[in-house]
Amino acid sequence: MKITKEVLITLLSIITTFQAYSQTKFTEQKAGHIYHVSVPDYMTKSVTLNDVATMQYINSAKNAYLVIIDDSKEELEMKGIKFASLKDFHDDNIKHLKGEENDPVESKATEFEINGNKFYQSELSVNFKEKDDLEVKITYLITYVETKGYYYQILCWSLSSEYKNLLADFKKISASIRD
């Protein structure tokens, strides 16, 4: 009888513990964010272009560069940031690229929609002065994209002298984003 009593107490303890744990509700949480972009085969992955970019590609021989930064709308709102429009998102972010000392010139933006995602795209030309006062002219194709849950900044750039040769590829990259 002594063994049966111990077995019964152990069994009841296990059942009680199992029921206590099984009553706990679990909610699946998402970590990380996956999106897709078509990138030309001549570009290779990089990690040196931008500290906050989630995707970076480069081809230094062609002077072609790509950086994508994604911002969760939910995380922005938790920080008290909410944009009324994609243009507002553009206006808030473009100032970081322009810089007053760079003589920035931005083209008139075009707005369009692909697969329900909103796009706001412009070109930005800037002049950077190197340490030896050598001036480098760079042109960006800047595309801001708004999806249901995210904002994306797609920055494609090159030397201004090479930009027109890469523009078609830059536009294909920007238009291909999906999440």
Mean pLDDT of 43-55: 92
Q: What is the pLDDT of residue 146?
A: 95
Query: Each residue of 128-157: pLDDT tens digit?
Result: 877 777 888 999 999 999 999 999 999 999
pLDDT at 129 (0 to 100): 77
Number of continuous H segments (helices) and E segments (strands) in the chain:
4, 8
Domain annotation for the chain: domains and CATH numbers: 29-175 (3.40.1000.10)
- Cα–Cα dist 149/151, whole Å: 7
| 79-118 pLDDT, tens digit each | 999 998 889 888 888 877 777 667 788 899 999 999 999 9
Q: How far is CA 131 from CA 61, 97, 134, in A?
A: 22, 19, 7
